[in-house]
Each structure stands twice: as structure tokens, then as C-alpha cells.
Structure 1
Amino acid sequence: MADTERSHGDGNTTEVNQTQASQSDITDDDKARAEELKNKANEFFKAQDFPQATDFYTQAIDINPYVAAYYGNRSFAHLKTECFGSALQDASQAISLDRSYIKGYYRRATANMALGKFKIALKDYDTVVKYRPNDKDAKAKFTECNKIVKMQAFERAIRVDSNKQSIADQLDIENMIIEDDYEGPKLDEDGKVTKQFMLDLMEHFKNQKKLHRKYAYQILVQINDMFKKLPSLCDITVPEGSKFTVCGDIHGQFYDLLNIFELNQLPSTDNPYLFNGDFVDRGSFSVEVILTLFGFKLLYPDHLHLSRGNHESETMNQMYGFHGEVKSKYNAQMSEFFTEVYNWLPLAQLINNKVLVMHGGLFSKDDVTIDDLRKIDRNRQPPDEGFMCELLWSDPQILPGRSPSKRGVGCQFGPDVTHRFLAKNNLEYIIRSHEVRAQGYEVGHDGKCITVFSAPNYCDQMGNKGAFITMGADLKPNFTSYAAVPHPNVRPMAYASNLFGFM
């Protein structure tokens, strides 16, 4: 939970000494009021209302900006809302105020890990261990982070991308044995997905049973071949008299995915869908979600569309549970195969040449064209900058212009940026996902930037609704919000990295 103590008052750093004169301007009444606001923020934090907690920590900082714990607490709240860039900044500020504020190092390490910067995180864990040599948790995190850093260095040393063999080429699916006691769904004799298979699969998953590894591998091989043939930006046509549905993040919430299909009917040639990234991680039924979506994509290749999210990446999957879940339910080889498949997911979709759909958002510069997006070489892990990064990570902001991302990756873009992009590319509006919204959706930037998020009560704690968008050929968006449905007693992040236990 958040700190309830004041930060150390006798820090001996240069930063603390330099601020003494300014601190003298803070009255005792100011200090007392700031403490009241911090305590109020702590209550919101305990209630898991992290945006409100962040707001009250900010108010406390505005009154007394010289208390490390205020920044440390706000950093923690930012971590909870995945604003890793802001969390990083606050943790660093807390440390600059008090070098002995150990939780600042913990939180800065957590933020860097979430951004895939394990080597930098390791330095902070090293500091924590030096300050607290008997802290078992600190030692465990240092050891685990060090293991990842060494593993990544080893993989870089042996990797020869041009000669790297696909997991598909290493598999001997033909000779995988189906045990006699397996009673689950089976692909047809040609290894193809049928509608009955999908119905049986969803029921099988609903009852917390696994699809046989042979069929899971067959689905992955087929979907990998299918994705390789798709462009980085796909064109979708919504004809007159038809309906098209766009869903946002699912995040491993399989039972809420089933509820979408209950509310809006199953995918079919007459009921096409687009799922806009972040299918996995966080929720602990990610395997069920992704195999269901891949199955429907194979069954209806022209009517079920999938775009990559920032969580369809190796680093995110290592941290937030998907890799751990696949290894638990299947094996490490399959986890690696998913990483390979995700590299081929399309990055964006263009509906009727008028509506652009991407997971994150727009770009750090103007003059980006649809043709630029078509040319992106996507078969890789998301980079830290550029068009691919921003499609997956950027967020809208209320104010005009651009600003650094609160996530530490991508950018934030204002309504003027959106309007210029639409005008240049002759588009009507954009749809993106990537952010929790109270009603599951939000219409911003004068109606030109729509956010849709389809994971209700995100991580079993946010209390938000989920939503999906339906439209016809006129492209007028209609919104359906819905609450979370019950799921088996498996907590979110059950398979996540032990490194990601927040302090």
C-alpha cells in the first residue's frame, strides 16, 4: 500500500541541502494541510481509486513540494494506472529529495521494468540491497532481474536473425499424440477450424479445460501463415445494410469476451468484428482469449480482424503474465511461438477509407500519411520510437499540441494534431483503445478521436464498464456499455513475473 509515513527529514544529499532555503517558506500550516491531503490520497489509494489518489497527492505536492514520500506515493499511483513515464519521473524526484528513501528506488525499478529497461532497473535493485542487506524481497528481485539481464545479453550474443528458424519449422505436429482420455474439441481431419469446433472450444474453455496442445499448435501455425500474408495496415469494407463491431482491450478476461458475444452475437460472415489489440496479459485467462480469437480469425478470415496492441510484445508478456500463463498451461516453446506470431499482427485498420483504427494513437510529427503506415516493417518487437511505436503506445490529451507520454513511450497528442491528421488523409475520425474509461468508451477531440476499452472492472479492481462500438456503412458510431460478469476464482496477474509485485 502507499506510504503513510513522512519522508526522512535528515537526508544528507546535495539536493536536500540546496532546497533548505526554499523549504523555509513552507509554514507549519502548509505542512499540516499537505499531510491532510496526503492522508486523503492514501484513503483513495486503499479504495483503489488511483486517479483520485493521484490528484490529492498532486495537491499535497503543490503545497509542500519537498517531501519525498508524496512523490513516492504518487509514483505508486501512476504505476497502478500504467503511467510508467510519470511514475519514473516521480520516483526519481523522490530520490533526489532523499537518497535514503528506499521505496523510491523500488518504484523507479518497477517503472523501468515495465518499460523493458531491465538493466537500468537492476541498478536500483542493487541500491536497495545495499541499503537493506537483510531484505529477502529485495534480494529476490535483484536476483531475478539480474537473471533477465544476463539472459537477454546471452540471447543477443547468439541471435542471428537472418538464420533464425521459425518455431513452426521445429514442430513435429504430425506425431503429437492425442491421449485417449482427451475429451475436448478437435479440429477436422484436415486440421481446419469449423463452427462446431469454435462452439465446443468456448464451452470447453468456459469449464476451465485446456485445448490439446496439438490443436493449439495447429492453430498457431495456420494463423502465423495467415498473418504473414496481411499488410501492416489492412483495409476493411462495411457494405450498405450491414453492421460492423469494434472492440477494444480484452486483457485476458475470457468470460467478459463471452459476454460480448452474448450481447452482440458470435462473429460470422454477417456479423464481422475488429478486436483492437491487448488481447492478453493482466487477466489470467489470456490463453483462452487468444486461442478463441485466432480460431474465429481462421474460420472467418475476412470478417474477424485483429490489430496488434502494445501488450502483444515479448517484454509486456514477460512482465504481465501471458508468458507465465502459456508456460503453465502448455510450455515455453509455445510461449516463444506466440511471440513470433504477434510480430506479424497488423498494426492498424482502415474502414471504408474513412476511419482509421489503431491501438494507441497518432504521431510525434505532422505530415504522416496512410501510405506511410502501409510501408511499416512490422515483423519485430515494438521499437522505442517511430510510427510503429506510436501506433501502439500514444494517447490523446485535452490540450492542443503534443507532450511527452505519461507512459514513457509514444507521445500525447491534442485535438489540433488529430484534426490536421484527418484533414491530410481525408478521414472522418479515428478509433483507438489502450486506456480504461469509466463507461468503456470516450468521445474526444470534437468527436474525432474515440477510445473504446472492452475489459470491464479491469483487473477486478477498476470498477469501469466495458464497451464496444457498432456501425453501419454510414460509419456513425453507436456505443454499448456493459458490466463485468463473474469468472472463476483466479486472480488477475496470477501468472505475472514475481518482479512485478509493487512495493
Structure 2
Amino acid sequence: MTTETQNVPVSSEDIQIAEHFKSEANEYFKKQDFNSAIDLYSKAIEKNPNVAIYYANRSFAYLKTECFGIALTDANKCIELDKSYVKGYYRRAAAHMSLGKFKEALKDYEYVAKVRPNDKDAKMKYSECNKIVKKIAFEKAIAVDDKKNIADSINLDAMTIENEYTGPELKDGKVTLEFMKDLMELYKNQGKLHRKYAYKILLDIKSFFMDQPSLVEIPIGDDDKFTVCGDIHGQFYDLLNIFELNGLPSESNPYLFNGDFVDRGSFSVECIFTLFGFKLLYPNHFFMSRGNHESATMNQMYGFDGEVKFKYTAQMAELFTEVYNWLPLAHCLNQKVLVMHGGLFSKDDVTLDEIKKIDRNRQPPEEGPMCELLWSDPQPQPGRAPSKRGVGCQFGPDVTTKFLELNKLDYIIRSHEVKNEGYEVAHDGKCITVFSAPNYCDTMGNKGAFINLRGKDMKPKFTTYEAVPHPNMKPMVYADLFL
């Protein structure tokens, strides 16, 4: 039984109603309907704001919907109400972990391990978090400014192709359409591309992206079709379904994939090599933007790092980090539509020219334009608010309008958020979200969507689709279970 700090007078009737809302919310949580659970926990809190467990439970639901910033606020409130409620510290530690704040998480795990010395889970979490903090400190201590690139240390000539390998082969070191078709067929049947070809694709794509600006301009002819896709998140079979519905990429069927190609879904390696292959095949008709999941911390937490190490090597996982650092941050279509993964900025005067000049060859910073391009979200109310994710900002319709007027644009397209229909049109049609991973994480039940545009009017046309079956491999299989 927890002790509660009674701050607000509450009637016995409201106490009962609040308990009823909590019980209902718990049922929705069990069914993984986290948004309904959040609404009901919020109602419980409205009726009785003095109960720590309501905030702890809502914090957990917010963690599940990747709203790490609000999850942290709720965990803090829970601890403020009841300093002896251990789950509050667990929730706060999880929120800190999700935000990559490992030292802060360690303090909470240390506290839990002290007050519950016989709790094996608490001990394990403290120990694992401690290892991460020490590893980061060690890496920082030995880091040097002129750290050698992984790309420079790879010797392709030393990699032999075994006689028993029957998968696709690069022709004179180049990707061909035949190679891409064979590769997708290989992946469909759960085969693996030879490491020599995998490394070659990564080295070539890195060289290509290094020559690109942070903002890429894309012209679209009047009668030409152009397709924008949102998050894929390692859902390879749904990626194949997009190509089935909308045609394979080609010079007459160009695509832009708007970040978050990997993590969560357990076919991330297959997704990224398919996308990189098409980029090399059609460099001027296939485009890729960086998402917030094209980063080392996210990849370590949500599975991509583990998947690459399982299917290839730790060295390749590091090479991916190098490649992701060079991905463009935004694309401007026909000088009318700006496409970025996250959203707009915490200040009003950001220009396209400024975006073009961002020094992007690094891990995403915790603030500033690069961070916001990858992390921000729209909100319905005017103005700005702190991000529910704890990174980036939330921006209202007035912010969008000002940005578009300043940069002489019609509207923006962004991704980054699951939408039930696969897309959402907000801010009077000026802010469009597209999300292309249907039934996200095999649990959300959402549709996926992509956008078709024609150069002459740039009007978005939406195609939605359901998830397709995939081999029995659960999401997050390669994620660090602790993280």
C-alpha cells in the first residue's frame, strides 16, 4: 500500500470515480490501446490528482507511445506525490533511458536497487545501466578529434565470395535493376546478401551522400509523378507492398523515403539495403532523408544495431552510423514543398538557405535546427510548446504559415508520427504527415500511406493500405532487452 501526499481536497465520490477510470485504463493498456489508456488515466487524475500510481501508469503509457518528455514529467509528479513508490523511479529511469540520458537513469536505478536489495530486476537494471555509463565515459576518454573513419579501414579485396554463395552479385561493382530484383527476392525468402556486396553498397552510398547538401532540391516535371513515403521502420514486406501498389522505383517513377527506415521492425537490414540499392541505381530519381532513428543511440535501443551485428558484424554497425551522418536532412520539391522527417523550428527566422548549410556530419544534437528537423511535431493550437517527446518542439498552424511565407512555399510534408489512416492533413492543409509502416510494431492496427504528386499542381493524393503478412519474426527481436 502506498502513502499518498494529499494536496487537493477530493470527495469520496470523486475518489471512487477516479478508481473506476484507472481500472478501465488498465484494461485498455493490456490491449495495447495506449492512447485510450492515456485519456482514461488523465480522467482519473482530473478527479483525484493526489494518487501517485495514476501518474506512474500514465507515464508508462506515454513511454509506449514514444512521448518520452511527458512520461518524464509524469514520473517526476509521481515521485513528488509519493517518494516511497518504487515504480515511479522505474518509470523515470525508463524515460531518461529513452532520451539517452543514461547518468540520470543510473541514479534512479541505484535508488531502486538500494531500497529493494533482493529485487533481481532492479539489480540487473542498475548493473546494465552502469555498464553503459562506463562505456560512454571510456569511449569519450579515448576519443580523438581525427578519429579514423571505419570506411577507410575496410578492405573489399580481402573478402572472398565463397563458391556456395548463390545470391545476387554486383555487375562490375555496380547495382543493376536485375541485381535489385534478385536482392528483393532473396530477402523475401529470408536470404542474406554477401558481406562483400553489402560493404560495397555502404561505401558507395557514403561517398555519394558526402557530396550532397543538407537540403536537396528536386525538380518535378509538369506531368511527372513523384511519390513520398514516410517511416518504414524495418517492415520489409510492407515496403515490398508499396512497390507492388505504386510500381518499382525508376527514372519515370521517382521516390522520396522520409527517414526512419530502420529500428523496431526486425527486417531493418533488408529495408536499408533495398533503399540504398535503389539510391545507387537511380541517384537522381530516388531520395532519402534522415530520420531521428538514423542515429547511434536510437539504433542501440530499438534493434538496428543488434540486427546488423547478428546478420553481419559490429564493424558494419559502426559503418552504418558513419553513413547515416551524411544523409540529407530535408528535400525541397519544385521549390514549393519542403519535406523533412520531424518538423519546424523553435524560432521563426529559419530559411531554406540556412537548412542547406547545416553541418550534418554528426550525431543529432539535443537542440537547434538539425535536431528539430528530425524530432519536432505539429500541434493544433497556435504557438509553440515543449515537445511531448522531450526532444525538438511542438509547433502550431501560425508557426507553419510564417515559415511558408518567409520561404515562399506552399506546404510541408513530414512523417515521424503514427496516424490511424497512414496520413493526416493539419494546419489548414499546410502541414501533412505521412507514415508508411502499417500495423506499426505488429500492434497499432494503423494503415500505412504514401503520397503521389504531379509537378503541374503539386496536389497531394493519398494511397492507404493495410499491413501484409510477414515471417514469424516479432518486432524488436534484436533490441537490447534491457533498453
TM interval, short-chain normalised: over 0.9
**Cα deviations by residue, 1:8-53 (Å, 9 ceiling, x for unpaired):** 12x6xxxx3xxx3x44x21111110000001111111111111111
Counterpart of 1:54 (choices 33, 38, 45) is: 38
- Equivalent runs, 1:268-287 vs 2, <5 Å: 268-287=250-269
CA distance in 1, matches of 2:293, 2:461: 27
Work out the CA distance in 2 between the residues paired with 1:410 and 1:475: 28
Q: CA deviation at 1:240?
A: 1.5
| 1:455 alignment partner AA | A
Q: How does 1:489-500 map to 2 (within 5 A)?
A: 489-500=472-483
Match for residue 389 of structure 2? 407
Distance 1:463 1:140 in 2: 33
Match of 2:2 among 1, 5, 8: 8
How far residue 428 of structure 1 moved from its aligned partner, in angstroms, is: 0.1
Aligned position for 1:4: none
- Aligned match of 1:124 in 108, 126, 130? 108
| 1:84 and 2:68 aligned | yes
1:139 is displaced (CA, Å) by 1.6
2:84 to 86, 91, 100: 100
Counterpart of 2:361 (choices 368, 379, 404) is 379
Q: How does 1:352-367 map to 2 (within 5 A)?
A: 352-367=334-349
What's 2:147 paired with? 164
Distance in 2 (CA, whole Å) between partners of 1:226 and 1:144 is 38
Mapped to 1, the partners of 2:198 and 2:125 lie a distance apart of 33
Aligned to 1:460: 442
Partner SS state of residue 498, structure 1: coil
1:365-400 CA-partner distances (Å, limit 9, x unpaired): 101111110110000000000000000000000000
| Secondary structure, aligned partner of 1:142 | helix
Partner of 2:467: 484
- 1:174-253 correspondence runs (5 A): 174-188=157-171, 190-253=172-235
**Secondary structure of residue in 1 paired with 2:482:** helix
1:290 and 1:94 map into 2 onto residues whose CA distance is 40
Q: 1:28 aligns with which of 12, 31, 37?
A: 12
1:297 counterpart SS class: helix
Offset at residue 135 of structure 1 (A): 1.7
CA distance in 2, matches of 1:180, 1:127: 56
Query: Structure 1 residue runs of 4+, over 2 Å off?
Result: none
CA distance in structure 2 between the aligned counterparts of 1:498 and 1:80, rounded to whole angstroms: 15
Alpha-carbon offset, residue 442 of structure 1:
0.2
Whole-angstrom distance in 1 between the partners of 2:45 and 2:35: 15
Is 1:259 aligned to residue 253 of structure 2? no
- The structural deviation recorded for 1:108 is 1.0
How high is the TM-score relative to the length of structure 2? 0.99
* Structure 2 counterpart of 1:499, one-letter code: F
Q: Which residue of 1 is the match for residue 399 of structure 2?
A: 417
Q: Which amino acid is 2:273 matched to?
A: L
Aligned length: 482
Question: What value does the CA root-mean-square deviation take over the aligned residues?
Answer: 0.9
Distance 1:325 1:424 in 2: 43
Task: Pick from 299, 317, 331 the counterpart of residue 313 of structure 2.
Answer: 331
Is the deviation greater in 260-269 or in 92-101? Answer: 92-101
SS of the residue 1:494 aligns to: coil
- Take 2:54 and 2:112, find their aligned partners in 1: how far apart are those partners? 19
SS where residue 154 of structure 1 aligns?
helix
Which sections of structure 2, spanning at least 5 residues, go unmatched?
none
**Cα distance between partner residues in 1 of 2:40 and 2:251:** 50
1:145 aligns with 2:139: no
User: What's the counterpart of residue 292 of structure 1?
Assistant: 274
Could you tell me how far apart the structure 1 residues matched to 2:340 and 2:290 are?
8
Tell me the SS of whatever aligns to 2:381: coil
Alpha-carbon offset, residue 111 of structure 1: 1.0
Q: Deviations over 1:51-101 (max 9, x none)?
A: 111001000001100101100010011011000000000011111111121
Structure 2 equivalent of residue 311 of structure 1: 293
Query: Any unmatched runs of 5+ in structure 1?
Result: 1-6
Which residue is equivalent to 1:432?
414
Identity %: 69
